[in-house]
Structure 1
Amino acid sequence: MDGYYAFMLVATAFVLMMTVPALALFYGGMSRSKSVLNMMMMSFVAAAIVGIIYVAIGWSMGFGGDGTFFANPFELFWLDGVETADYVFVMFQMTFAVITAALISGAVEGRMKFAAWVVFIPLWAVIVYFPMAHMVFSCTDDSLICGRIGAQDYAGGTAVHINAGIAALVLVLLLGKRLGFPKEKMRPHNLTLTMLGAGLLWMGWYGFNVGSIVFGGESPEADMAQFFSETGRTFANTTLATMAAILGWLAVERLLHKKATSLGAASGIVAGLVAITPAAGAVDIEGAVAIGLVAGAICAWAVGLKYKLGYDDSLDVVGVHLVGGIVGTVLIGVFSTADGAGGIDGLLYGGGIDSLVDQVLGVLVAIAYVGILTTIIGLAIKYTIGLRISEDDEVEGIDLVAHGESAYDLHTSSFGGGAGKTGVLAAATKSTEGANA
């Protein structure tokens, strides 16, 4: 089993990489130039806050014992009673909590107070994510989604993607639209960063999906046989679904807009990865390709809903993560096979409608739970410290307002000394004031 621990260490590092730097680059490139640093900072700060809270009480709430919604937060407080050899599993689950929180940030680009984000993240992690992780990943008899309902979710279609997508939708509704949306074109400022981030997300997702294996054998030999079988399945499914989603996204994009774009390819990568996340261990490769194609096509269409329905999801978190998470989770009920991790045949494999019903119920529970509690958290912040920056600050740019920095020094002077145009003008003004004194 030494090799398995080494494998999990690598998988954990890969999943952490998905947040910093992969998601930060992906979202940063899609942002406007005046908010790119803030966008990236939201990922970094989410990692720092959620990671520490997870070790304190998150692991205990998620995996500490029985409970319909969550386990006792203080049963394993600060990992008390957890063997140090098991810390790798704690860290692995911690990285899931980190990226789920960070995913939300893309929806609120350029207009959410950084202080509000810092307050929102720990509250949301404790009240929303940790219980969702227990209901999905702990899978005790009492846990709601996988225990009582019986919905399959291999690596987080409900707990991660639907969770983040619904939270994102709630926040954008509470915040309101960006100034100028939808009339003003708010294009990504650096698609090179976005495509680099998408590639790193794809790479890191192998840790996310393939590392989510849970042993069920009765001996080390049985465990290792399961390990090789299941990791092979999840690795292949993750790869093929993502490839299919790229093609599905670009086909719809070409049909609707007469162009196949680099942003579409990058978004297709993420849509495929999102959709195969819950199904990675449940379906065969034909099912994985089908799920990828469907998710890529539907998500490419869904990102346009914000213009029709009037909500301002800045970087399409709702269109990709919420919609993709729903597609992947529901289609388990259609494409799962008894040879997969859940041992259940879906509708197309002679299993009847029962699995499909379970998957739909799991989605509905996740939407209701996350939607209600995120709304309460968001309203509490909105009517205390406030959620949104002022209009003047939004025009100036949140990078300068919140962090005192800009991503690009576009006004460097040729006079030397590294002073920008603003610095030169300030120096000239000061010299004039001195002469007139």
Structure 2
Amino acid sequence: MGQTVHDWPIILLAVGSLGAMAASLAVLYSRLLPAGSWLHSFGISAACAALGAALWFVVIALLIPEAVTGLFVPIGMMGAVAATLASMAMRATDPPTSAVLVFSAAWSLLVFVPVALATFITGVVGVAPVDHAGSLVVNVAGGAAAFGILLVRSEPSDVPATVVPRWVSALAVTLLVGAWLAWLAAAELAFDEAAATAVGNGVLGGAGGVVGWLAVQRIRHQSSSLAAVAAGLMSGLVAVSAGAPLLSPVAAVSTGVIAGGVACLVTLGRIVASGREQWFLPGTHLVAGAVGLVLVGLVANDAGFLFTGQIGFIQDQLVSTVVVSLYSAGVSFLLWTLLARLRRRRTTS
């Protein structure tokens, strides 16, 4: 990602595509929540997204004004997407709306803001991960938040899930794919050859994710479905996001296939074992994002380990992925536990 830019049309495309991604994910993941109106669920997601963006804008503008560059607004919108993802598993426990908003605000402040600052602006103790489209700060951090909560609350729920009309889901998937590809193009904040490469690799990675997911689901569970196609497509897009302009077409397809296969293996394995559909969140976002980040360090054109034989690049990718995963999961675990205890005390008092 570039560090400075004054081309507002590109920034507006970046902001619009990230906003559309947050909205699409909010609709699609309503089905993971307890029964209710998907429109009501969407409203709560919008509030979480607004908190995620607002905290980045306020904290950075007040405390680190030198970080207000061309990336400032797009990173804030990444915060909106990340907060939407991070809150989903917590919302599946059917907490009050106030607790959801507190969790989203606290997670955004404690996890997203420092991770985004370190990834895109300052770096941390010499570790500088390559993250073209924010996969580390959105997918890995957001997916790890769901993972941390699912470790606390792993028993299956007997509450019916929210039903999202098929036509709404189909529209949301279409919007999500289009917005994701637009974001891959705009993430460099410049329309150039790298942007075109990123979009092409997004298409190839998404297709590879479908192949990988369907292959594993067919082998392990003897089934295929349209939902599996959508899951594989998302896994592939997540996986190539970190290094979209740095991959060859073969590497993009391979990254999608590997990520889709591994995400399917983890996701369906945990859903079968636990009975909780919410494992789709860490499976598709955390696992696929982590696979993509590490593979960038392995196969990136002229920079990955296979090209240079140097471990520095892949080491930074691996270390940053592990650290962010553990940190986000740990913070989410503690926040959910604290909020659950406060809720029980209010109930018994």
**TM bin (shorter chain):** 0.7 to 0.9
Q: How does 1:337-376 map to 2 (within 5 A)?
A: 337-338=301-302, 344=303, 346-376=304-334
- Whole-Å separation in 1 of the counterparts to 2:103 and 2:34: 23
Report the Cα distance in structure 1 between the residues aligned to 2:93 and 2:18, rounded to whole angstroms: 28
How does 1:54-203 map onto structure 2 within 5 Å? 54-57=56-59, 59-60=60-61, 74-76=63-65, 89-113=71-95, 114-138=97-121, 140=122, 143-144=123-124, 148-180=126-158, 190-203=165-178
Task: State the Cα deviation string for residues 264-307 of structure 1 (Å, max 9, x = none).
Answer: 11111211111111121222221111101111111111112324
Partner of 2:270: 306
Matches within 5 A, 1:289-300: 289-300=253-264
TM-score by length of 2: 0.87
Tell me if the contact between 1:29 and 1:191 (Cα under 8 Å) persists in the aligned partners. no
Q: Which segment drifts farther, 163-172 or 99-108?
A: 99-108
- Could you tell me how far 1:15 is from its partner in structure 2? 1.0
Structure-2 separation of matches of 1:331 and 1:2: 28
- 1:27 paired residue number: 29
Provide, for residues 309-355 of structure 1, a one-character-per-residue CA deviation record: whole Å limited to 9, x for no partner: 548352610110110111101111211112xxxxx2x1322434332
Distance 1:194 1:371, change over 3 A: same
Q: Which residue of 2 aligns with 1:268?
A: 232
Identity of aligned residues (%): 23
1:30-45 alignment to 2 at 5 Å? 33-34=35-36, 36-45=38-47
Q: Equivalents in 2 of 1:296, 1:389: separation in Å?
A: 43
Aligned 8 A contact 1:24 1:197 in 2: no
CA distance in 2, matches of 1:387, 1:212: 45
Map residues 3-22 of structure 1 onto 2, 5 A cutoff: 4-20=7-23, 22=24
SS at match of 2:63: coil
Name the structure where helix makes up a greater proportion of residues: 2
Question: 2:197, 2:245 within 8 Å by CA — same for their partners in 1?
Answer: yes
* Contact 1:19/1:102 (8 A) holds in 2: yes
Distance 1:270 1:170 in 2: 21
2:251 paired residue number: 287
Instruction: Choose from 198, 216, 221 the match for 1:252.
Output: 216
* Runs (5+) with no aligned partner, structure 1: 61-72, 215-223, 339-343, 391-437
* Contact 1:35–1:109 (Cα < 8 Å) also in 2: no
Change (3 A) 1:351 1:210: farther
Q: 8 Å contact 2:35–2:162 — kept in the other structure?
A: no
Distance in 1, Cα, partners of 2:330 & 2:103: 15
Separation in structure 2 between the aligned mates of residue 2 and residue 279 of structure 1, nearest angstrom: 20
**Structure 1's 230 and 387: CA in aligned 2 closer, same or farther, altered over 3 A?**
farther
| 1:50 aligned partner | 52
Is the contact made by 1:31 and 1:189 (CA closer than 8 Å) also made in structure 2?
no
8 Å CA contact 2:139, 2:289 repeated in 1:
yes
State whether structure 2 residue 301 is matched by structure 1 residue 326.
Answer: no
Following superposition, the deviation at residue 195 of structure 1 comes to 3.1
Take 1:378 and 1:108, find their aligned partners in 2: how far apart are those partners?
7
- Point out the more displaced range, 290-299 or 5-14: 5-14
Gaps of 5+ in 2: none
